[in-house]
Amino acid sequence: MIKGSPYYKIIENRGNVILLGDSIGDVHMADGIQHEICLTIGFLNHNVEDYLDNYLETFDIVVIDDGPMDIVNYILNACSKDSKN
């Protein structure tokens, strides 16, 4: 839980979260943070056939088989451009 940690003070007033995780439980890393939007990106690197459906139900975006960080970089670049306007 992030609330009560030293890190919480840094992020407590941010309204948006981009959460990256490589296990189903990681989706709860933003629990305890007030946010308007939480975009979750899951990385599925093993047993893809067994876990894909679960990851697709849990995360907004799923990257499989050690896929590139292109989607993450694209989203961050888009957010950066919007914040400059």
The residues spanned by each domain of the chain are: 7-82
CATH 3.40.50.1000 for the 7-82 domain, yes or no? yes
Residue 66, pLDDT score: 85
Is the Cβ–Cβ distance between 43 and 35 less than 8 Å? no
Residue bearing the bigger pLDDT, 82 or 65: 65
- Cβ neighbors of 48 (< 8 A, separation 6 or more) are 64, 65
- Angstrom distance (rounded) from CA 42 to CA 56: 9
pLDDT digits (tens, 9 = 90+) for 38-68: 999 999 999 999 999 999 999 999 999 988 8
Residue bearing the bigger pLDDT, 84 or 70: 70
